[in-house]
Structure 1
Amino acid sequence: MTEVLVLGMAVVDFVLSMERFPTAAAKYRADSAEIVGGGVAANAAVAIARLGGQATLATRVGDDPLADLVLGELAGEGVCIDHVHRAAGGRSSFSSIYIDAAGERQIMNFRGSGLTETTDWIAAAPRAQAVLVDTRWTAGAAAALASARAWRVPGIVDGEAPIDLALLEAASHVALSRPGLASLEPGEDAATALARLAARIPGWACVTDGENGVWWTEGAEIRHLPAFRVAVKDTLGAGDVWHGAFALALAEGQGEPEAIRFASAAAALKCMTFGGRSGSPDRAAVMTFLKETG
């Protein structure tokens, strides 16, 4: 089984669905609600497991009931949680999330408190065929990317602002969101901004932009894959699913264009289901979708 080491955030998401976002200091009633695990890295790890890979998650949590909820759900999904750091007296991260009728979301996140700042435990994770990190904890991400270099495997950064440029310089692959790219190269269209960033970093780079598709570097050229057109119910976690699927595809030996298409299909299928990562598809669903869409 192909193994991917994923480092970053794992949280609990309290997801509320409504016709439109609140606009005043008043009471509102949700149309539906879910309590699900979330977090950039945790969502990616679940995506990898559902797609047939083995994901090991390196994350920081507290010793509170929320951590039990987070880790219990991840273990149930088949994610390896043997390398999670639980801080005595620490408080785990959680988010309150609103989803409107168009499937767009607003997120209010508490990052947690009292969590470890040490990184030595990360090096104890088992060797993987790829490493994926988010940008929420720079020191931890840097340590995981150092493992990727030592193993000579892809080291992928999920680029959400704020982004420490040192992480992009340490990665073999940088996959940014459109806001993440704009935080580094503002005021340009996606293709132009990506070209400007690519000139500043040593590795391969791409930018995902939701319904506008994905742009990536291919030598001195910028390529583009349009997004798959689907009926969107919930975009929450779609980017995380994309990054997990992309990392798994690279770990399996797929080339970047093929990995982008595979990841884009997985993210599109996720958008068709409400409830954050609960809509993350399995391998069979993705392959069927790709076959049907041509």
Structure 2
Amino acid sequence: MATGLFIGLMTLDCIYRVSQVPGSNEKIVAEDSLLVAGGPATNAAIAFAALGNRAIVMGALGQHPLATMIRTELAGYGVEVVDLTPDLAVPPPLSTILVTAATGDRAVVSRNAVGRQVQPPDGLEPYLSNVDIMLIDGHQMALGQALAAQAQSQGIPVVIDAGSWKPGFDRVLSLATSAIAAAKFSLPGHPNTLTTLAALGIAEVAITHGAEPLQICDRGQYATLPVPQVTVQDTLGAGDIFHGAFCHYRLQSPFTAALSKAAQIAAQSCQHFGPRAWIKAV
């Protein structure tokens, strides 16, 4: 059993499946709803655990009753929590998500980790004890940078989930073993994300484009990789699940093969409403 450390955002997601996103002053009734733990690192950790591994998510959670809901769900999936703000009494970040039934597209409103940034604790080595792979989603940048530097010194692979640009990402990206970026991600002043990330010295780079082929740079070799075509019910969390599955498969397979297998898991997740239903199909 491998151990993965996932650093970043922990939220409580209120998800509605709707016929359409309401307009100004419009009220609609949802077709379905879910209340689940969320955040890129959190969803990736659950995916990693669901594939048979030990997963640890690290970030800021606190002791508010809503934080207890998050902690309880994570425990149900076997995910351990390292909470660096255990005395924090305010609610965790809340996300409201509307999934359009006909297309599976999602609209998200969230505070993310605004006002919940934590500083790296003293003595990072114990947090990396027996860790085989680490993922950083960029929502706890100072913590991620410190742990990535320590991981690099210990030879632990560092995977970056580059969903959107955040200040300080350049310093973290330079420590990455693998970087998987969303199509919308770009470094300021650098329109070609694939070549820019490769130029930073990252050996393994991939850009996701939803249902379109991945763009890849594997140790200087550029290629594209098709992804499975499925009937989409919900795209929410698919990228996070992709990253968690990639961490699982990268410990077993070369970069391109790991991407291909992770894409299959992400495609499975898109065929169900919500970010957890796919687990029963694995």
Superposition TM-score, scaled by structure 2 size: 0.91
CA separation of 1:167 and 1:153: change in aligned 2, threshold 3 A: same
Q: Retained in 2: the 8 A contact 1:58–1:85?
A: no
Q: Give unmatched runs, 5+ long, in structure 1.
A: 286-294
Q: Deviations over 1:81-119 (max 9, x none)?
A: 255542433431110000002000000002356635221
Q: Distance in 2 between matches of 1:76 and 1:118?
A: 28
**Which residue in 1 is equivalent to 2:48?**
48
**Which residue in 2 is equivalent to 1:289?**
none
Q: Retained in 2: the 8 A contact 1:90–1:115?
A: no
From 251, 254, 279, the equivalent of 1:281 is: 279
| Equivalent residues in 2 for 1:216-235, closer than 5 Å | 216-235=216-235
Matched, 1:264 2:263: yes
Q: Which amino acid aligns with 1:59?
A: G
- Report the number of matched residues: 277
**Which residue in 2 is equivalent to 1:290?**
none
**Which residue in 1 is equivalent to 2:134?**
131
Match of 1:97, SS state, is: strand
User: What's the % identity of the aligned pairs?
Assistant: 27
Matched, 1:253 2:252: yes
Q: CA RMSD in A?
A: 2.0
| Equivalent residues in 2 for 1:121-160, closer than 5 Å | 123=124, 124-125=126-127, 126-160=129-163
Q: Deviations over 1:159-216 (max 9, x none)?
A: 0222321111111111111111476643x5xxxx412432234432111111012111
Superposition TM-score, scaled by structure 1 size: 0.87
Q: Which amino acid aligns with 1:210?
A: G
Match of 2:233, SS state, is: coil
Q: Deviations over 1:262-281 (max 9, x none)?
A: 11011000000101x21343
Q: Retained in 2: the 8 A contact 1:60–1:87?
A: no
Higher helix share: 1
**CA drift at 1:24:** 2.0
CA separation of 1:272 and 1:225: change in aligned 2, threshold 3 A: same
Q: Which amino acid aligns with 2:149?
A: A
| Equivalent residues in 2 for 1:67-146, closer than 5 Å | 67-82=67-82, 85-100=85-100, 101-111=102-112, 115=116, 117-120=118-121, 123=124, 124-125=126-127, 126-146=129-149
**Which residue in 2 is equivalent to 1:39?**
39
Q: Distance in 2 between matches of 1:165 and 1:210?
A: 24
Q: Deviations over 1:198-245 (max 9, x none)?
A: 223443211111101211112333111111011110000000000001
Q: Retained in 2: the 8 A contact 1:168–1:201?
A: no
Match of 1:24, SS state, is: coil
| Shift >6 Å, 4+ stretches | none
Q: Distance in 2 between matches of 1:129 and 1:61?
A: 24
Q: Retained in 2: the 8 A contact 1:48–1:245?
A: yes
CA separation of 1:112 and 1:142: change in aligned 2, threshold 3 A: closer
Match of 2:42, SS state, is: helix
Q: Which amino acid aligns with 2:272?
A: T
Q: Distance in 2 between matches of 1:216 and 1:82?
A: 33
CA separation of 1:113 and 1:171: change in aligned 2, threshold 3 A: closer
Q: Give unmatched runs, 5+ long, in structure 2.
A: none
Q: Distance in 1 between matches of 2:248 and 2:205?
A: 17
Q: Deviations over 1:33-66 (max 9, x none)?
A: 1111111111000000101111111121132111
Match of 2:45, SS state, is: helix
